[in-house]
Structure 1
Amino acid sequence: MNLQDYSVSRSSKAARVAAILTAIALLVLIAAPLWAGRADMRLMGELFLYLSLATLWNLMAGYAGLVSVGQQAYVGFGGYMLFALTMLGGLHPLVAIAAAGVLGALISIPVAVLIFRLRGAYFAIGTWVIAEVFRLSFAQISALGGGSGSSLPVAIVKSLASGRSMREALSYWLALGAAVLVVTAVYLFLRSRQGLALTAIRDNELAAGSLGIDIWRTKFIVYVVTSAFTAMIGALIFLQKLRISPDAAFSVNDWTAFVIFIVVIGGIGTIEGPIIGTLVFFALRETLADLGTTYLIVLGVVAIVVMLKAPKGIWGVIRSRYDLQLFPLGYRVKHIGQSKEN
């Protein structure tokens, strides 16, 4: 075997083309306030925030094996921190968003120490219980509206920008920036040594441990980082909504069930999956919104069909058929025009 006949690369032609198209799409999306209406920007902003939540949940469940049904705990926590830090602490909303991420990381540390004692279904139930504890706790804080919730004061809203159009544009740009930041951060993390360790844990936890990988520490880092980003996304969500209440902030349906649906139909354990899943979810939601509760039934049927016919999701089918990888994580060995992933 002549080694000079082989080359090792992480990139591919498809990945390079995707990078160019993504850059063009980002330029178009950044200019959206010039060509899109307010309703369109609100919809796209919501799409970007759901994409961020789905990417973060996929990092935990698809790579670290931490199947949580309680991530609404950090969405709600981030939202309430935004209101508390701006209304009671006097911070600018943008500073409060960053602070919400730091506080989300700090509060996730004792939570992780507690729930990491659980495994499998018990872990999932434990995360939901933690979320309920968060909800009941914030419902008791009268300064933030108690059980009925609170609205963001007009003065705080106007501190973002002087005019309504500029505030709408800033809110949109923040959502777009959050999605780009989250996807990029997850991609770079998975390409790092920690990401390689995480992939090894996903493939075979027992073998990874035997090779010296600190499984608990790796999962702990993923949980804390994911919680921090989720809290920041939660702050952005309720900055858009301008009102918060315990039931809305800690809704398992809005912030966990829909997110799981997105990841499952898109393709769990891939970066491309949540992107495709988010687009499919919003296409279904906008198309079937007038059907009322039937819309939720259709979502359930779609999820079941995808899980039965394509367990690896839509992207899994595309990848296996066309050998595409838009976000290359592993290495590829090339020989005379042919490639085989290593």
Structure 2
Amino acid sequence: MTSTSADVPALWAVRRSSTGTRISSAALLAAGVALFAVPFGFAAGVVQQLTTLFIFMILAVMWNALAGYGGQVSVGQQAYLGSGAYATIFLTQHAVPPYLAVLLAAVASALLAVLLAPLLLRLRGGQFAVGSWVVAETLALLVALDADLGGGTGISLRGLNAYAPNLRRAYTYWITLAILLLLLGLVVYLLRHRMGVALQAIRDDEDAAAALGVRTGPLKFGLFVLAGFGCGAAGALTLANTLFIQPQSIFGVQWTAYMIFMVLVGGIGTFEGPILGAILFFLLQQQFAQYGAGYLIGLGIIAAGFALYLPRGLWSLPADRLHLRLLPVGYHLQRRVARPSARRSDV
């Protein structure tokens, strides 16, 4: 009795989706749609806090896309937050309706990224990180010198005073949620497309990726502009949510520190991790932000602890132990169920 290789079934198969990911994807989509009803059933304070949480999620997802998938570790993303916020002020001063100004400000931040990309994308590693920070500081100084934008003392978004407070909070909430869902959808599309694989190859070794035929320049450019758009939208929405900004605060490097914390604690290079990190950061901020410097020191200690003892973040715990994946992004190996096969005998 002998058997041939055709009688032996493959034990492993490469899969992108499964029944579990399809169910969880549908559930997450339904939850995202259901969240639009929150302003109808919850108090104004809850609506405003959820808006803040969604802004944190936008920032975490964008920084993770930039650094976790593309390897572009920026400490200057506050440049686009500030540009988005102040572009909103500038547009409303020129008779643009405030919520239209918010959307146009996000586009303006993307255009700023287009202008800065030829300069910054020439840099790598620490040079890129420092260069992006220098750009943010330069923009902060320029805005502080502009009296029409409030100078160093800050400025209010007066255009939203035309809306009743509850209506204003609801509109800001809906726009924030819509932009968050849009950006999440774009990231899912990116990860399911071959561009996502190419970007991760660039992250791991840009020179090797280029040698294999990956067009590193256009891919890095596109990701850089996407992150500029997302962070610009977050800055404009922060202004719409708080109604007041100052150059020192909106251009402050603490914003990038928050992004790094959320991504590092949640799980860099994963889709779900930054969202989980944003929720944790939001809860910590709600409980301990009043402690000032002690709060920031605590965040640093927590981030250092995760870097040392759980470098893949919180999401690695359920992902590794339960093999949990919420969305069909990337590829994974799945063990096939072996089926008995009839053996042939050679006479």
- Match of 2:123, SS? coil
Matched AA of 1:108: A
Question: What does residue 264 of structure 1 align with?
Answer: 264
Return the match for 1:117 from 117, 122, 141. Answer: 122
> What does residue range 1-342 of structure 1 map to in structure 2 within 5 Å?
9-87=15-93, 89-153=94-158, 156-159=159-162, 161=163, 163-253=164-254, 255-332=255-332, 334-337=334-337
Could you give the per-residue CA deviations for residues 151-173 of structure 1, whole angstroms, max 9, x where no partner exists?
122xx2145x4x32111111111
CA distance in 2, matches of 1:4, 1:337: 9
Counterparts in 2 of 1:26 and 1:130: CA distance versus 1, 3 Å: same
Report how many residues are paired: 332
Counterparts in 2 of 1:326 and 1:128: CA distance versus 1, 3 Å: same
* 1:244 to partner: Cα distance: 2.0
Structure 1: give runs of 5+ residues left out of the alignment.
none
Question: What does residue 343 of structure 2 align with?
Answer: none
Percent sequence identity is 39
Could you give the per-residue CA deviations for residues 74-116 of structure 1, whole angstroms, max 9, x where no partner exists?
00000000000011x2111222122212221222223121122
Could you give the per-residue CA deviations for residues 123-181 of structure 1, whole angstroms, max 9, x where no partner exists?
1111110000100011111111111121122xx2145x4x3211111111112112111
TM-score (ref. length: structure 2) = 0.89
Answer whether contact 2:22 2:328 (CA < 8 A) is retained: no
* 1:68 to partner: Cα distance: 0.5
* 1:46 to partner: Cα distance: 0.3
Matched AA of 1:100: A
* 1:279 to partner: Cα distance: 1.1
TM-score (ref. length: structure 1) = 0.90
- Match of 2:151, SS? coil
Could you give the per-residue CA deviations for residues 167-210 of structure 1, whole angstroms, max 9, x where no partner exists?
11111111211211111111112212322211222233233111
The root-mean-square deviation of aligned C-alpha atoms, in Å, is 2.1
Answer whether contact 1:148 1:245 (CA < 8 A) is retained: yes
CA distance in 1, matches of 2:22, 2:207: 35
Instruction: Compare CA radii of gyration and give the structure with the larger one.
Output: 2
Counterparts in 2 of 1:289 and 1:100: CA distance versus 1, 3 Å: closer
Counterparts in 2 of 1:236 and 1:210: CA distance versus 1, 3 Å: same
CA distance in 2, matches of 1:337, 1:91: 61
CA distance in 1, matches of 2:53, 2:89: 23
Counterparts in 2 of 1:336 and 1:192: CA distance versus 1, 3 Å: closer
Counterparts in 2 of 1:69 and 1:91: CA distance versus 1, 3 Å: same
Matched AA of 1:180: L
Could you give the per-residue CA deviations for residues 192-241 of structure 1, whole angstroms, max 9, x where no partner exists?
23222112222332331111111122111111121122212211111111
Matched AA of 2:80: Y
CA distance in 1, matches of 2:49, 2:106: 24
- Match of 1:113, SS? helix
**Greater Cα offset, 6-15 or 300-309:** 6-15
**Greater Cα offset, 213-222 or 256-265:** 213-222
Structure 2: give runs of 5+ residues left out of the alignment.
339-347
Answer whether contact 1:49 1:178 (CA < 8 A) is retained: no
CA distance in 1, matches of 2:196, 2:290: 42
Answer whether contact 1:10 1:329 (CA < 8 A) is retained: yes
Matched AA of 2:47: M
Matched AA of 2:132: T
Answer whether contact 1:310 1:317 (CA < 8 A) is retained: no
CA distance in 2, matches of 1:96, 1:4: 60
